[in-house]
Amino acid sequence: MTTLTQRLTLLHERMQTACTASNRKLDGVQLIGVSKFQPAESVADAHELGLTDFGENYLQEAAEKIRCLESKHLTWHFIGSIQSNKTKVIAESFDWVHTVDRIKIARRLSSQCPQGKVLNILLQVNIDHDANKGGASPEECIDLVKQMSNLPNLRLRGLMVILSQETDPRVGYETVAQLHAELKSALNPEFAAAWDTLSMGMTGDLEHAIAAGATMIRVGTALFGPRE
Ligand SMILES: *Cc1c(COP(=O)(O)O)cnc(C)c1O
């Protein structure tokens, strides 16, 4: 049986090789352990090995783990699709929300964010116009970014993407990186300073994402093994 330690070692090697190949520093790529369908004990084990950031897709499942692991002060990322009646729980429980794709959702997160808390958000872009998943179309992004950056209690940090199976990751991730740069230059300087995050790349394609400039990769299988 492969252990978590072995899988993490292999994963770090993949990340290091990818960084070296594109002349990047390993510490410029934040690893997010995607812990959906994994028990809280596995998250605790990964934390023992040095991981601090975890991603969850399903609120009920996440809420339990977050409560259970509260004393460890982990950083939690919401990476699932957002129903508007769930924004309050998301704003209360998570540090980052990667899947914001409508102004209505951003406004609700902003108004329901607990006092004194700053919620980091990413705009999810649907770069390949895939009707089966969320994300704003690339054409919508500029208006959304301008509106979202002005909302109180939120800090708009950049873009997130999930590529379609059919999209060549070498092309898809480069396209998102280019859009990320264009949007940054359209922002006011005060907001452009916080626009520093590109969340892209998973178990199957993280090398391509790192080559294109990902600053966060979201990895489940390569870290925790196959999901039930
Ligand atoms: C499940 C999931 C991942 C992790 O996928 P793996 O292929 O297991 O690494 C990353 N991002 C999102 C949005 C996911 O839902």
Q: Which of 113, 214, 109, 105 is nearest to 158 (CA)?
A: 214
pLDDT digits (tens, 9 = 90+) for 141-153: 999 999 999 999 9
| Shortest-distance atom of ligand 1 to CA 202 | 9
Which of 79, 127, 228 is the pocket-test mutation for ligand 1 (most atoms within 8 Å of CB)? 79
Mean pLDDT for the chain? 97
Residues 163-183, mean pLDDT to the nearest whole number:
97
What is the pLDDT confidence band of residue 110, given thresholds at 50, 70 and 90? Answer: very high
Task: Find the 32 Cα to ligand 1 centroid distance in Å.
Answer: 10
Give nearest CA residue, ligand 1 atom 13: 79
Statement: residue 201 has pLDDT above 70: yes
Q: Does residue 66 contact residue 92 with C-beta atoms inside 8 Å?
A: no
Which of 61, 202, 227, 228 is the pocket-test mutation for ligand 1 (most atoms within 8 Å of CB)? Answer: 202
Do the bridges between strand 119-124 and strand 96-100 make them parallel or antiparallel, or are there none, so unpaired?
Answer: parallel
- Average pLDDT on 124-140 reads 96
Q: Is the pLDDT of residue 1 over 80?
A: no
Q: What percent of the chain has pLDDT over 70?
A: 100
Q: 57 alpha carbon to ligand 1 midpoint, in Å?
A: 9
Return the sign of the alpha-carbon dihedral for residues 45, 28, 82, 110.
Answer: positive
Q: Are 225 and 7 in contact (CB under 8 A)?
A: yes
Write down the pLDDT at residue 228. 80
pLDDT at 59: 97
C-alpha 217 – ligand 1 centre gap (Å) = 9
Going by CA atoms, what residue is nearest to atom 6 of ligand 1? 220
Cα 206 to ligand 1 centre (Å): 11
Average pLDDT over residues 117-130: 97
- When pLDDT is averaged across residues 184-212 and rounded to a whole number, the result is 97
Instruction: State pTM to two decimals.
Output: 0.97
pLDDT in tens, 69-107: 999 999 999 999 999 999 999 999 999 999 999 999 999
Quickly state the pLDDT bin for 202 (edges 50, 70, 90).
very high
| Structural domains in the chain plus CATH codes | 4-224 (3.20.20.10)
Pocket of ligand 1 (CB under 6 A): 34, 36, 57, 79, 162, 202-204, 218-222
Residue 2, pLDDT > 90, answer: no
188 CA from centroid of ligand 1 (Å): 32
| Mean pLDDT for the stretch of residues 169-189 | 97
Distance 83 CA to ligand 1 centre (A): 19
CA neighbor of 160 nearest in space, from 143, 177, 181: 177
Per-residue pLDDT at 123 exceeds 90: yes
User: 178 C-alpha vs ligand 1 centroid, how far in Å?
Assistant: 23
Instruction: Give the mean pLDDT of 29-52.
Output: 98
